[in-house]
Amino acid sequence: MSKRNNSAQIHVLEVIIVAGMLLMSLYFVRTFEFSPNIKTTDENELEILSEGILKSLEGVPDSEEHYPSLLARYLTTPYRNDDETFPYKENFVSYVERSIPEGTLFEILRVNITKLKENPDLSIRNDHITKYVNKIEVKVGTEASSSRIVVIDNTIYEVVLTLYLTLG
pLDDT tens-digit profile of 46-92?
Answer: 888 889 999 998 888 877 777 788 888 888 765 555 545 677 888 88
Angle between the N-to-C axes of helices 89-99 and 42-59, in degrees from 0 to 180, rounded to the nearest 10: 140
- Mean pLDDT for 4-22 is 84
H or E element in which residue 160 lies: strand 155-165
Q: How far apart are CA 136 and CA 64, in angstroms?
A: 30
Domain definitions of the chain by residue range: 1-34, 42-165
At the topology level, CATH places domain 42-165 in Ribosomal protein S3 C-terminal domain (3.30.1140)
